[in-house]
Structure 1
């Protein structure tokens, strides 16, 4: 029997799972080092040679546009270990050149030149390319995996309806309107557990529940959530409203995809995806979308990177106001992370023992933690 399953009920994980340094190190290898992780969108690197960097635990990852492809590599020179690109975004042009000794790599990561060391003179260039990272792009959204063998492509994991719904929005024609990184003194699994249940929504998120259909959200976790590495997701809006916002109205005038071309919006339309156990989610509505990627920093500290998307032709100040665009999720994110920080403080108590979770309101926790335990090689 697993550590979360008991005779008549299930719980969250034991106290030490949220505190132990050794376990955290194992998680970086067995969970974060194996699954698909949402890293960004193709609009962030529109031209060949454009790049952005992305951090997961101790690893800094360099993502570069290479023609029609996206390459991901460990952002470390194979010569003496210098971090190749030390800015979050930028442009390398046609080559990646280490600023220390000018070792030069192609956009695909292959070593092209080791200064004053000809190929084959002392070593073969083919053996010293940048360490590659798997990339899977689903409708413009970029996922990475540091596994030795890549998981199945993201597109094969997300169901046909979720894929079709997202395609309606022309997701390759989005742009990032705003980005925020939040920090929390809480274990990353607390962010996961909080995200796969809406039991807390009415008490913690009164603003969110103005437009969110919290019962439908809870029903999704009870009836449809399966805890796959990647799966489709809809964050449901009350059917009489337009979008997920403070008042339920659109926050961007330029609607996405087919809706911007005059196709009527079905009641309750939404599209998106989620990953787990390493938790990310994307919720899209007719006018905008938001993606959050939660990432580990230490056993007791995490961060959450959030991107807000609008139509690529939408103009700030004309079609949308950034403050209004981000407000509903910004308020909700602060509320959630405050709760997780209080929870982390509470479970440091020697007296903490996890209590029974609700089978109707918190089944998503059970499914997500079973996936986590399976990846950790423990009974699930």
Structure 2
């Protein structure tokens, strides 16, 4: 499927080396102030060619709004946005036209469809995520009206990691370094590691963490559309993602129930709160009003500049030679993608929550 959401619904389209990529948003309420500048600010955080540790493909990723906005306001009709590709080098991929690159989607797309766009991976390319970031920018703009905010950051590259307690981190540092890490010292170490990996013609993976603040209690569904399941699906749909955990995650398995349970109390303002937040802001698949926090694991980028053994479409042994422009580590550019996907899920469930109770409708 190329569509996500039930009320706030997006459909993306386009390929890495096609004429353009884009997205259509259906279900965005009318009356939201929105401009191309609002969306461009988010796209600039994802675009290629940002620094020495990202792909050097030169794309401005300039967004154009084709519909759904009039005089700076959403109209309630579908919002269509397009980003034209400008710096394709399709010839860089002609040598793998009939070869299957290790750990890419070449073989699986070939089996599923019987045909594939080999230029930069076609539809399977991470370039498609620019459309998601554009849609996510609209979702973030909408949710800001409800006091909901998103902050993702690089928490780990290789074996270099920051403190797991996000309350101890300085989020103001995230956009002050090219790796988007909230710890300046660890950021320098991460940059050095990624640059050394790049010089050795290899790649490395990492982890992006995300904190969502201001989510009201009551978002999510009780069974199949549990909020954490929806967030997990959204994150696992991002290219190169190999894992998702929220709250205490796998570390929580090492705790006793008496240690892990989040005790309730009423604060001075009369709000029901929890003394701890091992649940990650979600209980029974429904938000409880505390911060939602999670981690997303990204594998090393599959395209490396080292020759690898593989086979071609006829099953003959082949040597795949890496060419083109690729990220030595994807996590710095994945930060806005993680935020965008989280915003799309929360926006959809925030709108869905408006029809849960009769007393809120009358």
Q: Is the shorter-chain TM-score for this pair beyond 0.5, marking a shared fold?
A: no
Task: Give the TM-score taking structure 2 as reference length.
Answer: 0.25
TM-score (structure 1 length as normaliser): 0.25
Instruction: Name the structure where helix makes up a greater proportion of residues.
Output: 2
